[in-house]
Amino acid sequence: MEALRAILATLVLLAGIACLVHGLSGGPLWPCLLGMALCFLLAYWLWPRNRQADSPWLDALELLVELPVNLLLWLLRQLGRLFRDVDGVDL
């Protein structure tokens, strides 16, 4: 079951990358970006969390699957810090 989830997550990640490329190469941008975001979130959700196999390939693939979501979370944290710091400034 773990291997099936990893394969599905990889395929969904590739579909998200295809949506990104299609959207940036002249297709309708917003529907493609929405599809990309949904694919990245679905791939993150599908990826098995407690893998038993120790494989450098699966570790690298896990980094690629988690990268878009981790970047988004980092960006949201930075925006939260920015707005929190603005509240403390006296004008």
Structure-token match 């990245």, residue found: 40
Does the pLDDT value for residue 2 go beyond 80? yes
Report domain extents, the chain. 2-87
| pTM for this prediction | 0.80
Q: Give the pLDDT score at 90.
A: 56
CB of 62 within 8 A of CB of 24? no
Report d(CA 4, CA 51) in Å as an integer. 12
What's the helix, strand, coil split of the chain in %, to 5?
80, 0, 20
Pairwise pLDDT comparison (61 vs 89), residue with the higher score: 61
Q: Residues for the chain: how many in total? A: 91
Between the two ends of the chain, the Cα-to-Cα distance in Å is: 58
Does the pLDDT value for residue 91 go beyond 60? no
Report d(CA 62, CA 43) in Å as an integer. 10
7: confidence class by pLDDT, cuts 50, 70, 90: very high
The distance of Cα 50 from the centroid of its chain, to the nearest Å, equals: 19
pLDDT in tens, 13-68: 999 999 999 998 987 888 998 999 999 999 999 998 887 778 889 889 999 999 99
